[in-house]
Copies of this chain bind each other. A is one copy, B any other.
């Protein structure tokens, strides 16, 4: 076996950035899990951290399938459109002392490097109902403007995801069901603003999205509102 390479093997994980759009508050929230204490008795030294839902992949599943499975195991969420956006593989990315105890509790090789493929999903926050599972003690939504210190390099991962949607909100809106099937132009504008973190002029926003051509105006109005009722619109179906 002289000419055969004896490179080592790696732990590979997926991490999911799930961003929930909260229409009422007009903000994006990130779905986080709280790490479960791995010790049977309470061990005071264990400090639970918040983290992105993520775990090691299995042998016979694709990366996309792994992301779906892992998210489901930790949060019982199903049916999201998860899209790979970057891979993080720094040798020290899980070597911070703050993460050592959790790793000791849950991993055979707590000191091993882990390479992670990060996934992104966007969803209406009232459309899913996360329920903690596996090593998630519980799940929480946190506004993207108030993200706490997370386990591992998960703050870096989350920030990269936020940069990506900020650059091209329109790519991440179409076909993602971030709004009800029938929505007003103000709802759509609010969504754009939450994703890009930029305020837009009403008139100019309406002009521009009407020249782009994804909307179908409906013969329906709001009812029971304390002001002029807005017209409803829906998205055209993507072609493909």
Question: Would A11 and B9 count as touching, CB distance under 8 A?
Answer: yes
Bound form: Cα–Cα A60–B117 in Å: 18
Choose from B1, B9, B61, B115 the contact partner of A63 (Cβ within 8 Å): B115
Q: 1/0 contact trace for A1-30 toward B, CB 8 Å?
A: 101111111111000000000000000000
Binds B, one of A87-95, A177-185, A232-240: A87-95
Tell me the chain A residues, 190-232 only, with Cβ under 8 Å from chain B: none
Question: Would B11 and A10 count as touching, CB distance under 8 A?
Answer: yes
Binds B, one of A42-50, A74-82, A100-108: A100-108
Q: How far is the CB of A80 from chain B (nearest CB, A)?
A: 19
Binds B, one of A51-59, A123-131, A151-159: A51-59
Output the nearest chain B residue to A90 by Cβ-Cβ distance: B62
Residues from chain B with a CB closer than 8 A to the CB of A108 are 1, 4-6
Question: Would B89 and A63 count as touching, CB distance under 8 A?
Answer: yes
